Structure 1
Amino acid sequence: MIQHLDTDGVPTLLAPTGGPMRAGLTFRVGTADETLHRAGITHLLEHLALAPLGLADYHFNGATAPVFTTFHMQGSEQDIKGFLTAVCASLSDLPTGRLEIEKEILRTEWSSRGGTPLDDIPLWRHGARNFGLSSYPEWGLARLTADDLREWAARWFTRENAVLWITGDRVPAGLRLGLPAGTRQSVPAASTALPHTPAYFVHGSRAVVLDAVVRRRTAAGVFADVLERELFRALRQDAGLSYTTTTGYDPRGDGYATLRALADALAEKQDAVLGGFVDVLAKLRVGRIEQADLDAVVAKREDVLGTAEVDAARLPSYAFNLLTGQPNLTIDEHRAELKTVTVADLHEVAEEVCASALLMVPDGTRADWAGFTAAPTHSEAVLPGTTYHERDGDGRLIVGPDGISLVSGSGPLTVRWADCAAMLAWPDGARQLVCVDAIVLHIEPTLFDMHPRTMATIDAAVPADRQVPMPARDPERIPQPRAVREARAHLARPKRAWWEVPLMVLSGVAALGVGGLTLLLTLGMFITPTGADEQWLWGVIVVGWLLTVTLALPIVLLRRARRR
């Protein structure tokens, strides 16, 4: 049974365990509460709070998710007391002396992390804001200051916005949580970048992934497990097309949950996997759901609810519900809800899934044949303004009072100044504007016939706090128009030494002279018959041609060296 206590004004949850004591201090703040131009502030603050702990004899860590941040550890009662005390002390008085060091650590962490097929899905559904920000790099790190972090901590890392959970029979004696007062923060409203659903987009990963938004309820969690069984049976067991077929169900904290499913594929089997995946969804959408699958999932969940450690295991999710204002059920209430789930309930969830579905399909495939609409990759509108033409192509850059448009053969890209989530700025003048709908417009001023003040106009139109400075690029990586590339290539050619031209002239004159005389002699030998005593002239001719080739050799060698 989970006990509700209070520790220095922080709601505290306690559940018995037969193993070592574990504890977590969870706050209702995450990446979804940030903005793109300040992305990374919560993660940076989490690192700073843990930095003073250094090396310890117990395991501890922190995690930043879309709507919560948690500090957790496993150890003795005294270890947990020391850990929580130190974290709260750091949050109240941030060790900003390590600010630049921790920024570098986070940049290294980002550059070395491996991507997954799921990483890009949030931005396709939500755009460059709230729940979509988990798809983007932490671009805000460079400009974050100590004052920015102190303000963020004062708003979000407070005792009213926190929950402490502990697996054990008591709260460590003498534990004090020195957190400032504040208010409980609500979960941000989820945005959408999809004009229509069901939708799909193409991705380079060799997997088919489903992302759907459903009402949070027991039937939806059960449906996720039933869907996994169906995918396994259809794509792995029966057809042998996939190795991994998995699903996930993650509450968002706003009364809804994200339901995802994945099936991997060999390059030559991608069409077949996509077809089989869509067939499974269609089968469930029309209500062809096996009672045996429902019974098996419910039985498995009931087994989990019957384990001795069930309350300790569900403490993190229990704390999440408490922070987000979602109901927490007792074990008996969980069992009762599971028993009420019917095939009709699962059919209803399947219809929700298919109506809100976003499908990620591999390169070279499409899903419009199955009723999915292609997610937008271009803008609908082109804004009025001053037009600048591309130097080597047909593209047009239009800069106006309301925003900027880039028009090319593939379609227009438009970012309104008011909807610019962030603008990346390179010292060489390149700019990349990211719209809240996830449209990205990249400008290389070297490629357009632009007025010198155009880039200054763009910079002035985007609020200064949304501009993200980027490191200088290697000059060789800056794209240039064709004329500049050709001029650089010409200048890059090696210059001739002073003696090369005279040598080539002398070599050419000598080769022509000797070659000409040898040619006349050769013709004469064929035209006028010669006696036996004149056969030595053939030897002269051979020597003449050999000498001609030798004299011409410097010209050939010098020209070949110049080409290289």
Structure 2
Amino acid sequence: MTQESQTTQAPPVTPEARIPGATAPGPAPAAPPVGIREAEVDGIRTVLAAGSGPVTAGLFFRVGVADETLATTGITHLVEHLALHRHGLSDLHYNGATSATYTLFHVTGTPAEVTTYLNGVCAALRDLPLERLETEREILRTESAGRSRGPNHQLPLWRYGAQGYGLGSYTEHGPWHLTADAVRDWARTRFTRDNAVLWITSDTVPEGLDLTLPSGPPHPLPAPVSILPVTPAYIRGDSGGVVVDGIVRRSSAATLFAEVLSRALFVDLRQKGGYSYVADADYSPRDNDFAAITAYADALPQKQDAVVGGLIDTLARLRAGSIEQSELDAARAKYLKQYDTPDLAAAQLPSYALNLLTGHRNLTPDEQRAELAAVTLDDLREVAREMHSSALLQVPGRGADWAGFTEAPQWSPEAPPAPGTRHPSLEGDSTVLTVSPDAVTLTTPSGQVVVRYDACAALLVHPDGGHHLTGLDGFQIRVEPTLYKGLTPARTAVIGASVPPAAVIHMPPRAPDRIPRPDGGGTPRRLRSEPVGPARKALIWLAGLATALWALIATVATSQELDAPEPDPATIVIIWLLIAAPLGAFLGLRRKRG
């Protein structure tokens, strides 16, 4: 996930999408490739390469969403916004981006404009404009509410849970409660000169740069933690498309396989089957050792089953080794063409700098070409098998057990709830909430969910008594006093006192109609304005009967008028206006009911 700040837009800089070299793990080379020069500016590692046209520069920091917790999600994004605030409106092409593992400030302009921008960013990081904190909170909440999510936004949550690389699937909770001290401390310890790399498309460092930042240790990439007990696995998603990702070792073979898969899906699902309009695949590094290959195909509701089957069949074909040499050659030719790019060294700077930042080995262009040339059909088949073995598939409608995929866990492992107070649901005694000294358990006829306090990623506390828990494994329990018997403030206080303070988020008051109420139908309902007594129920029933009678009379009268030799439209309108009174009374009574 990349979150773009709302400032003057520059052309996106996406180092993962650059030329696919620099993918082999190992120690850093003794010298940079030809055309790239290393330097140091105010203690920040810097790489330079001359390019034509305006100067483009980027300042990477090794901190991103995956370094946060669920309770602090958005803190890096908040620092990014604050660091860019003082630039205001400008014709300068600049921006900031927060990804899973890095934050990038980038700019394109004259050497003087680049200097002014970078100096301003570092000055703001040294002394954040925290008087803007409340305003930026609101901006981030608005941005989050309006952000469109990609078709695969659920997959990280189901693979990693509410931690690390899974946090990109969640709403940013940090802007609701983070203090000025917390934000200042995050900037002071993460946005440091030892945790940064600067790149500039110039053969010299622009004059006047002042990138003074505090010192601090470099931060390693977060270690991934998978919560999937079995793969390949599947989850059920919304209608509209099918998406699958798999975790593979970073390599040139994996880069080429993603391109082969993309072309195969386009041919199978669009050109031959006519099932999809979009059918594509993408390769994206996750950390220094592994990358994600993601495939997606859209579908109309009536074609969803065909798209699911077609995508799985394409993956199975590649895994079985049914890949033509021409498919590999076409993918390889596409990437080799990129090495004919003018100003190749400058084009590779973002990926080169990012590898320096994370400690990943950089390859020279000759080494990159050699790796691409060495990829064989057997290498692609091995990547296909590796992707399948770790695959997580999101399907609309029915499952994918028939294809050998196991449904991802929908419930916590079965175990008797720990001793505690039992609170049956007001919507039926078959659902019980148990508040124990070490966990909350929700038991339903279908299964149970458990969130332990010591494994609680975030607890949202509402002033009306609602407590919403999310476990590190992604499971959630909504503890609402309005939905369970005997759930007193004393019992919910046990939850708030037992969850680690760093995970607790105190939310603002909810509007009365946002507080759930029992409906008797098994689902929460918004607040009723008044109880429904026997007399009112009878009145509602009579109004409904009167409405039905009037509708029947109106239908018969309309039919007779239409059969007349010369139907009168005015008469038909009058007939249906007569039904407005009982219909309005009935709807009014239903509205008062809630």
Equivalent in the alignment of 2:398 = 365
Q: 1:487 to 1:78 in 2, by over 3 A?
A: closer
Structure 2 residue runs of 5 or longer lacking an equivalent are: 1-34, 521-526, 540-581
CA offset at residue 309 of structure 1?
Answer: 3.1
Q: 1:278 to 1:55 in 2, by over 3 A?
A: same
Residue type at the aligned position of 2:108: Q
What's the secondary structure of 2:210's corresponding residue?
coil
Equivalent in the alignment of 1:203 = 237
Q: 1:340 to 1:440 in 2, by over 3 A?
A: same
TM-score (ref. length: structure 2): 0.81
CA offset at residue 313 of structure 1?
Answer: 2.3
Equivalent in the alignment of 2:83 = 49
Mean CA deviation greater in 311-320 or 419-428? 311-320
> CA separation in 2, counterparts of 1:411 and 1:129?
24
Q: 1:392 to 1:253 in 2, by over 3 A?
A: closer
CA offset at residue 196 of structure 1?
Answer: 0.6
* Alpha-carbon displacement from aligned partner over 1:37-62 (angstroms, at most 9, x marks no partner): 11110000000111111122311110
Matches within 5 A, 1:144-293: 144-293=178-327
Equivalent in the alignment of 1:478 = 515
Matches within 5 A, 1:75-474: 75-362=109-396, 364-382=397-415, 383-385=417-419, 386-393=421-428, 394-452=430-488, 453-474=490-511
Equivalent in the alignment of 1:488 = 531
* Alpha-carbon displacement from aligned partner over 1:355-406 (angstroms, at most 9, x marks no partner): 00000111x1211110001011211134222222112212111111221110
> CA separation in 1, counterparts of 2:587 and 2:98?
59
> Do 2:437 and 2:494's aligned partners in 1 also have CA atoms closer than 8 Å?
no
Q: 1:130 to 1:563 in 2, by over 3 A?
A: closer
> Do 1:493 and 1:562's aligned partners in 2 also have CA atoms closer than 8 Å?
no
> Do 1:117 and 1:205's aligned partners in 2 also have CA atoms closer than 8 Å?
no
Equivalent in the alignment of 1:12 = 46
Q: 1:267 to 1:9 in 2, by over 3 A?
A: same
What's the secondary structure of 1:447's corresponding residue?
coil
> CA separation in 2, counterparts of 1:409 and 1:327?
53
Equivalent in the alignment of 1:540 = none
Mean CA deviation greater in 314-323 or 415-424? 314-323
* Alpha-carbon displacement from aligned partner over 1:269-315 (angstroms, at most 9, x marks no partner): 00000000000111111111111110111111111111113322222
Choose between structure 1 and 2 for higher RCO, CA contacts under 8 A separated by at least 6 residues: 2
What's the secondary structure of 2:463's corresponding residue?
coil
Residue type at the aligned position of 1:470: M
Equivalent in the alignment of 1:541 = none
> CA separation in 2, counterparts of 1:64 and 1:491?
57
> Do 1:381 and 1:414's aligned partners in 2 also have CA atoms closer than 8 Å?
no
What's the secondary structure of 1:488's corresponding residue?
coil
Mean CA deviation greater in 212-221 or 465-474? 465-474
* Alpha-carbon displacement from aligned partner over 1:5-41 (angstroms, at most 9, x marks no partner): 1111111111222221111000000000000011110
> CA separation in 2, counterparts of 1:450 and 1:49?
48
> CA separation in 1, counterparts of 2:535 and 2:86?
53
CA offset at residue 420 of structure 1?
Answer: 0.5
> CA separation in 1, counterparts of 2:343 and 2:272?
36
TM-score (ref. length: structure 1): 0.85
What's the secondary structure of 1:183's corresponding residue?
coil
> CA separation in 2, counterparts of 1:481 and 1:40?
33
CA offset at residue 469 of structure 1?
Answer: 2.1
**Superposed CA RMSD:** 2.2
> Do 2:239 and 2:301's aligned partners in 1 also have CA atoms closer than 8 Å?
no
Hey, which of these two has a bigger chunk of helix by percent?
A: 1
CA offset at residue 239 of structure 1?
Answer: 0.8
Mean CA deviation greater in 128-137 or 458-467? 458-467
Q: 1:228 to 1:415 in 2, by over 3 A?
A: same
Equivalent in the alignment of 1:516 = none
* Alpha-carbon displacement from aligned partner over 1:447-483 (angstroms, at most 9, x marks no partner): 2112522111111111222111223222233233459
> CA separation in 1, counterparts of 2:120 and 2:337?
39
> CA separation in 2, counterparts of 1:562 and 1:493?
12
CA offset at residue 169 of structure 1?
Answer: 2.8
What's the secondary structure of 2:532's corresponding residue?
helix
The answer to whether residue 112 in structure 2 is matched with residue 72 in structure 1 is no
> CA separation in 1, counterparts of 2:351 and 2:504?
37
Equivalent in the alignment of 2:551 = none
Q: 1:447 to 1:8 in 2, by over 3 A?
A: same
> CA separation in 1, counterparts of 2:514 and 2:75?
30
> Do 1:30 and 1:67's aligned partners in 2 also have CA atoms closer than 8 Å?
yes
Equivalent in the alignment of 2:523 = none
> CA separation in 1, counterparts of 2:363 and 2:199?
17
> CA separation in 2, counterparts of 1:401 and 1:175?
56
What's the secondary structure of 2:57's corresponding residue?
strand
Q: 1:561 to 1:17 in 2, by over 3 A?
A: closer
